[in-house]
A = this chain, B = another copy of it.
Protein backbone atom coordinates (compact mmCIF):
# COMPACT_ATOMS: atom_id res chain seq x y z
CA UNK A 1 0.00 0.00 0.00
CA UNK A 2 1.49 3.28 -1.09
CA UNK A 3 0.95 6.80 0.05
CA UNK A 4 -2.14 7.47 -1.99
CA UNK A 5 -3.47 10.99 -2.06
CA UNK A 6 -7.15 11.00 -1.35
CA UNK A 7 -7.16 9.44 2.05
CA UNK A 8 -3.61 8.96 3.27
CA UNK A 9 -2.05 12.30 2.57
CA UNK A 10 -5.12 14.22 3.66
CA UNK A 11 -4.90 12.58 7.05
CA UNK A 12 -1.16 12.93 7.04
CA UNK A 13 -1.81 16.64 6.89
CA UNK A 14 -3.86 16.44 10.05
CA UNK A 15 -0.99 14.76 11.84
CA UNK A 16 1.56 17.21 10.62
CA UNK A 17 -0.68 20.00 11.79
CA UNK A 18 -0.31 18.52 15.23
CA UNK A 19 3.31 17.47 15.44
CA UNK A 20 4.77 19.40 12.53
CA UNK A 21 4.95 22.69 14.35
CA UNK A 22 8.10 24.17 15.70
CA UNK A 23 8.22 22.47 19.10
CA UNK A 24 5.88 19.49 19.50
CA UNK A 25 8.27 16.80 18.38
CA UNK A 26 11.00 17.99 20.70
CA UNK A 27 8.60 18.01 23.61
CA UNK A 28 7.46 14.51 22.73
CA UNK A 29 11.03 13.32 22.43
CA UNK A 30 11.97 14.72 25.82
CA UNK A 31 8.93 13.31 27.54
CA UNK A 32 9.77 10.01 25.90
CA UNK A 33 12.73 9.82 28.23
CA UNK A 34 10.64 10.29 31.35
CA UNK A 35 8.13 12.50 33.10
CA UNK A 36 9.36 16.05 33.41
CA UNK A 37 8.42 19.38 34.91
CA UNK A 38 7.65 22.57 33.10
CA UNK A 39 10.90 24.30 33.92
CA UNK A 40 12.86 21.20 33.10
CA UNK A 41 11.42 21.14 29.62
CA UNK A 42 11.98 24.83 29.20
CA UNK A 43 15.60 24.44 30.16
CA UNK A 44 16.19 21.55 27.77
CA UNK A 45 14.56 23.03 24.70
CA UNK A 46 16.87 25.72 23.51
CA UNK A 47 15.16 28.82 22.27
CA UNK A 48 11.60 28.07 23.33
CA UNK A 49 9.70 30.82 25.10
CA UNK A 50 7.58 30.27 28.13
CA UNK A 51 4.53 31.07 26.12
CA UNK A 52 5.23 28.59 23.35
CA UNK A 53 6.02 25.80 25.77
CA UNK A 54 2.69 26.38 27.46
CA UNK A 55 0.85 26.56 24.17
CA UNK A 56 2.56 23.45 22.86
CA UNK A 57 1.86 21.45 26.00
CA UNK A 58 -1.77 22.50 26.02
CA UNK A 59 -2.19 21.39 22.44
CA UNK A 60 -0.59 18.04 23.10
CA UNK A 61 -2.66 17.58 26.22
CA UNK A 62 -5.81 18.40 24.32
CA UNK A 63 -4.95 15.79 21.71
CA UNK A 64 -4.31 13.16 24.34
CA UNK A 65 -0.59 12.99 23.63
CA UNK A 66 0.60 14.16 27.04
CA UNK A 67 -0.87 14.23 30.52
CA UNK A 68 -0.64 17.15 32.89
CA UNK A 69 -0.49 16.53 36.63
CA UNK A 70 -0.80 19.44 39.01
CA UNK A 71 0.38 19.14 42.59
CA UNK A 72 -1.35 21.67 44.84
CA UNK A 73 1.77 22.72 46.69
CA UNK A 74 3.63 25.92 47.19
CA UNK A 75 5.52 26.65 45.00
CA UNK A 76 3.42 25.00 42.33
CA UNK A 77 4.58 21.83 40.67
CA UNK A 78 3.30 20.38 37.40
CA UNK A 79 4.45 17.16 35.82
CA UNK A 80 4.11 16.28 32.18
CA UNK A 81 4.41 12.83 30.67
CA UNK A 82 3.57 10.94 27.53
CA UNK A 83 0.33 9.02 27.31
CA UNK A 84 0.33 5.56 25.73
CA UNK A 85 -1.02 7.25 22.62
CA UNK A 86 1.85 9.70 22.73
CA UNK A 87 4.31 6.86 22.98
CA UNK A 88 2.97 5.26 19.82
CA UNK A 89 3.25 8.59 18.06
CA UNK A 90 6.85 8.85 19.09
CA UNK A 91 7.51 5.46 17.58
CA UNK A 92 5.88 6.47 14.33
CA UNK A 93 7.94 9.61 14.19
CA UNK A 94 11.04 7.53 14.60
CA UNK A 95 11.01 6.48 10.94
CA UNK A 96 11.16 10.07 9.87
CA UNK A 97 13.92 10.82 12.33
CA UNK A 98 15.92 7.86 11.07
CA UNK A 99 15.43 9.07 7.53
CA UNK A 100 16.63 12.48 8.57
CA UNK A 101 19.80 11.14 10.07
CA UNK A 102 20.72 9.05 7.08
CA UNK A 103 19.74 11.46 4.32
CA UNK A 104 20.28 14.92 5.66
CA UNK A 105 23.72 15.13 4.11
CA UNK A 106 22.26 14.22 0.73
CA UNK A 107 19.80 17.04 1.05
CA UNK A 108 22.50 19.49 1.97
CA UNK A 109 24.51 18.37 -1.04
CA UNK A 110 21.49 18.72 -3.32
CA UNK A 111 20.91 22.20 -1.98
CA UNK A 112 24.47 23.31 -2.52
CA UNK A 113 24.28 21.92 -6.03
CA UNK A 114 21.02 23.67 -6.78
CA UNK A 115 22.21 26.98 -5.38
CA UNK A 116 25.45 26.76 -7.33
CA UNK A 117 23.55 26.24 -10.58
CA UNK A 118 21.21 29.08 -9.75
CA UNK A 119 24.13 31.40 -9.14
CA UNK A 120 25.67 30.36 -12.44
CA UNK A 121 22.50 31.09 -14.34
CA UNK A 122 22.29 34.44 -12.63
CA UNK A 123 25.81 35.25 -13.80
CA UNK A 124 24.88 34.41 -17.38
CA UNK A 125 21.94 36.78 -17.28
CA UNK A 126 24.18 39.71 -16.47
CA UNK A 127 26.33 38.92 -19.50
CA UNK A 128 23.37 39.13 -21.84
A: which residues have CB within 8 A of B? 2-5, 7-16, 18-22, 25-26, 28-30, 32-33, 44-45, 61-64, 85, 88-90, 92-101, 103-104, 106-107, 109-111, 113-115
Residue contact B9 to A29, C-beta cutoff 8 Å: yes
Say how many copies of this protein the assembly contains. 2
Residue contact B29 to A3, C-beta cutoff 8 Å: yes
CB-CB under 8 A from A13, the residues of chain B are 22, 25-26
Closest to A95 in B: B95
A9 to B104, CA, bound (A): 13
CB-CB under 8 A from A19, the residues of chain B are 16
A67 to chain B, nearest CB (A): 11
Residue contact B96 to A12, C-beta cutoff 8 Å: yes
Contact residue among B18, B25, B114 (Cβ-Cβ distance under 8 Å from A12): B25
